[in-house]
Amino acid sequence: MDTNFAKSRRRDLILAFCLAAIAALVPLFVKDVYVQNIMVLTLMWGALSQSWNILSGYCGQISLGHALYFGIGAYTTALLFTKFGVLPWFGMIGGGVISAIIAMALGYPCFRLRGHYFVIATIVIAEIGLLLFHNWDWAGAAMGIDIPVRGDSWLKFQFTRSKLPYFYFALALACVAWFVTWWLEDSKWGYWWRAVKDNPEAAESLGVVVFNSKMGAAAVSAFLVAVGGSFYAQFVSYIDPESVMGFQFSLLMALPAVLGGIGTLWGPMLGAVILIPLTELTRSFIGGSGRGVDLIVYGGLIIAISLARPQGLVGLFAPRRKEAAR
Amino acid sequence: MTAETIIQSLASGLLMGLLYGLIAVGLALIFGLMDVVNFAHGEFLMIAMYATFFLFAFFAIDPLLSAPLVAAALFVFGAVVYLLIVRFAVRAKANAGMVQIFSTFGLAIVMRGLAQYFFTPDYRSVTHSWLGGKTVSVAGIFLPVPQLVGALVAIAAFGALYLFINRTDFGRALEATREDAGAVALVGIDKNRVFALGWGLGAALVGLSGAVMAMFFYIYPDVGASFALIAYVTVALGGFGSVFGAFAGGIIVGLVEATTALLLPPSLKAVGIYAVYLLVVFVRPRGLFGSM
């Protein structure tokens, strides 16, 4: 690669490190629990959207069914913990591996589909998962699972007194998701994915194994999303099918990336930093009566961004860098 | 399970299926015309149902009579949505597919929010309409009258749509534009006008189904979501863009749903529809009647 690109990648890494360091210091000054809660959610959705972006942004396979992997992560952790006393850390890895395997098993038939047929297949598969969990008595069916408090430690990944540990885990997750994207962007896979997104036939003819590269993207993406789901289960300590596998989660994972810039390194995080606090604040200040003002603001923002800046907001911050990244 | 229950549920499945076809055909029409999937389709249905409800509640106009009014209102609404949003979405240079999906998704979210704001999340229903709650017995099978009328409306609408597309100038312009939007401009057809009218027509059809649905279904801000997914599956099953495919897809979806409800717990009845969709597209990635 030319030196400009290498330089800009190094600059990205340094910038990410600085931002993460600053973010890590913020809770020392911001003690308000409500604000800390928003920060945890922002980092979590940033991480999820970053993971979604690997399959849907870089590889161009738009999935609106990632709630399935989020839910599988959450359920694996919660079930292993409540039924067998397995520590959430193992549940997290287990959920990730199960999700990655399921993503590949589903990808096998689905990746032959194109365009809207693929998008609808992803929605429908997640919906089937939701309905199955709704009817799965051992997993709590529609009642869900109440995760009992068994301690206050990193070992058990439960914290009753403070939100700070959750914040640091969410920050770590966001860093991992970012770093994985950063690393993959300049790997063989990253180039394959962009080739598959732009023109699968041409990519195939140049020796890219299109099918395998889609499968790889799906597995990485699903694994990271499931880890996010595990974290969410521990964070809210109560899950039911609708609250971890509902369609709105699939949408929420996509939106920060859409807002910030699909298929870009910084887009998902930037989108989450804008979108999540905005939604949380409108919800608590105007939408508290449950009257939908938050939805209006939110939906209006999506329409405005997707029409006015289809390439996302990220280009606004580094207009010249965009050319280099192409 | 007797033969009678099977026939009974298949018959109601068929009626519901025809209605699913009517809900979905607007989506198929718009997609065929300009390759855009309207992800706010369910919300179009939702406002049609509310319009029917308010015409009934305030002016005591029965859904049967208000159906044409609602369809006309939705026609205007669909054309306006095209002119204000979709027209710009299809022009996007970057991420074109994404922009279409998310601009109409954004619209769906706004419409749901507006409905919650103005109409409250309460469940409403059109009570004591002329047909509501009535059933007829045909050869020992009981059929709910609203659904039966809905199915007849659907058949009539499909017939009218067929004649409209094949026999009128606008219909021919619609066909021509879907074949080649660039070439029609050369023969003096304003592409934007055809697209706007196409959106109007698609919305009018969903308006018609909303008026019928209001006779027997609860009306609430999220009502569109559950029917929207069925509509996408219906359209994709039939093959995107095929009007006949939407009709056939609707019937298949209705029958599959009824069959699943016989075999599995009622809460799982949608699983059958989704599974059939997946099976069909895995075998034929373009749906049953879709062209390449």
Q: What is the pLDDT of residues A101-135, one digit of tens each?
A: 999 999 989 888 888 889 889 999 999 999 999 88
What are the pLDDT digits (tens) for A4-42? 778 888 888 888 888 988 888 888 888 788 888 899 999
In sequence order, the β-bridge partners of residue A145 are A239
Q: B-chain residues within 8 Å CB-CB of A109?
A: 278, 282
Mean pLDDT for A246-251 is 88
- d(C-alpha B260, C-alpha B266), whole Å: 8
Average per-residue pLDDT in chain B? Answer: 87
Q: What pLDDT is recorded for position A2?
A: 64
Determine the Cα–Cα distance for residues B27 and B179; give it in Å rounded to an integer: 17
Residue B190 has pLDDT above 90, yes or no: no
Q: Does residue A70 have a pLDDT over 50? A: yes
B36 sits in the region (left: phi over 0; alpha: psi -120 to 50; else beta) called beta
Residue of B47, B88, B90, B98 to mutate, interface with A, max A Cβ within 10 Å: B98
pLDDT digits over B90-131, tens only? 887 777 778 888 899 899 999 999 998 888 888 988 887 777
**pLDDT at residue number A46:** 94
In whole angstroms, give the CA distance from residue B164 to residue B181. Answer: 19
Q: Does A249 touch chain B (CB under 8 A)?
A: no
Distance CA B216, CA B196 (A): 31
Q: Would you call A253 an interface residue with chain B, using a CB distance cutoff of 8 Å?
A: no
Chain B segment 82-111 residues within 8 A of A by beta carbon are: 85, 88-89, 92-99, 101-103, 105-111
* Encoded amino acid at B170, one letter: F
Q: What is the mean pLDDT of residues A256-264?
A: 87
CB contact under 8 A, A109 and B277: no
Confidence of residue B291 (pLDDT cuts 50, 70, 90): low
- Distance, CA of B91 to CA of A308 (rounded, Å): 11
| pLDDT at site B24 | 92
Is the pLDDT score of B191 beyond 90?
Answer: no
Chain B touched by A108 (CB under 8 Å): no
C-beta atoms of B97 and A115 within 8 A: yes
Q: State whether residue B34 sits within 8 Å of chain A by CB.
A: no
Chain pair A-B, CB pairs under 8 angstroms: 138
> Which tokens hold the place of A24?
């890590």
Give the E-state strand segments of A189-326 in sequence order: 238-239
Split at pLDDT 50, 70, 90, the class of A223 is very high
Q: How confident is the model at residue A322 (pLDDT cuts 50, 70, 90)?
A: very low
Euclidean distance between CA atoms B137 and B148, whole angstroms: 11
Whether residue A313 lies within 8 A of chain B, CB to CB, comes out as: no
pLDDT at A324: 44
pLDDT of res. A318 = 60
Question: Which pLDDT score is estimated for B289?
Answer: 79
pLDDT confidence band for A287 (50 / 70 / 90): low
Distance (Å) from the alpha carbon of B40 to chain A's nearest alpha carbon: 11
Across A207-225, average pLDDT: 88
Of A294, A296, A311, the CB nearest to B94: A311
Contact of A204 with chain B, judged by CB distance below 8 Å, is answered with no
Tell me, yes or no, if B119 comes closer than 8 A to chain A by beta carbon: no
- With a threshold of 0.90, tell me whether the complex ipTM lies above it: no
Query: What pLDDT digit, counting tens, does each position of A165-201 carry?
Result: 888 889 999 999 999 999 988 888 888 888 888 888 8
Q: Which chain B residues contact residue A300 at CB under 8 A?
A: 106, 110
Chain B contact set for A311 (CB, 8 A): 94-95
Contact B271 A121 (CB under 8 A): no
Copy the structure tokens of residue B153: 């409306």
Whether B117 sits inside 8 A of A291 (CB atoms) is yes
Q: Check CB contact under 8 Å for B106 and A300.
A: yes
The predicted pLDDT at position A96 comes to 92
| Span B166-172, average pLDDT | 83
Contact A290 B116 (CB under 8 A): yes
Query: Per-residue pLDDT averaged across A264-291, rounded?
Result: 81
Highest mean pLDDT among A52-56, A91-95, B43-47, B64-68: B43-47
Q: Which of B96, B113, B229 sits opposite A127 (nearest CB)?
A: B229
Contact of A288 with chain B, judged by CB distance below 8 Å, is answered with no
Residues in a beta bridge with B219: B124
B120 CB neighbours in chain A (<8 A) are 291
pLDDT in tens, A52-69: 999 988 888 889 999 999
Subunit contact A127:B265, Cβ cutoff 8 A: no
Contact A318, A12 (CB under 8 A): no
Compute the residue count for chain B: 292
Residues of A in contact with B229 (CB under 8 A): 123-124, 127
In this predicted model, which residue has the larger pLDDT, B143 or B152?
A: B152
Q: State the pLDDT at residue B20.
A: 93
Q: Do B95 and A311 touch (CB under 8 A)?
A: yes
- Determine the pLDDT at residue B292: 46
pLDDT of A289 above 70: no
Q: Could you identify the residue written with the tokens 């859904």?
A: B63
Tell me the nearest-neighbour CA distance from B246 into chain A, angstroms: 15
Which pLDDT score is estimated for A111?
87
Kindly list the residues from chain B whose CB atom is less than 8 angstroms away from the CB atom of residue A310: 92-96, 98-99
* pLDDT of amino acid B51: 95
Which residue from A115, A125, A299 is facing B110, i.e. has the nearest CB?
A299
DSSP letter at B124 equals: B
Arithmetic mean of pLDDT over chain A: 85
Q: Which residues contact A221 (CB under 8 A, 6 or more apart)?
A: A51, A52, A54, A55, A56, A63, A66, A69, A103
Q: Report how far residue B156's alpha carbon sits from residue B163's, in angstroms, rounded to the nearest whole number.
A: 11
Q: Does B277 touch chain A (CB under 8 A)?
A: yes
pLDDT band at B239; cut points 50, 70, 90: confident
Out of B112, B225, B267, the one facing A292 most closely (by C-beta) is B112
Average pLDDT over residues A284-307: 78
Range scoring the smallest mean pLDDT among A29-43, A288-302, B192-206, B245-259: A288-302
Boundaries of every domain in chain A: 4-325
Kindly state the tokens that stand for B26.
């607007």
Pick A292's closest partner by Cβ from B98, B113, B278.
Answer: B113
CATH number given to A4-325:
1.10.3470
Contact with chain B for residue A319, Cβ under 8 A: no
Among A residues 161-180, those touching chain B with beta carbons less than 8 Å apart: none
The answer, yes or no, to whether residue A49 has pLDDT greater than 90, is: yes
Q: For chain A, positions 113-142, list CB contacts with chain B under 8 A.
A: 113-117, 119-121, 123-125, 127-128, 131-132, 134-135
Question: Which band of pLDDT confidence, cut at 50, 70 and 90, is reported for residue A228?
Answer: very high
Taking the Cβ of residue B80 and every Cβ of chain A, the question of whether any pair is shorter than 8 Å is answered with no
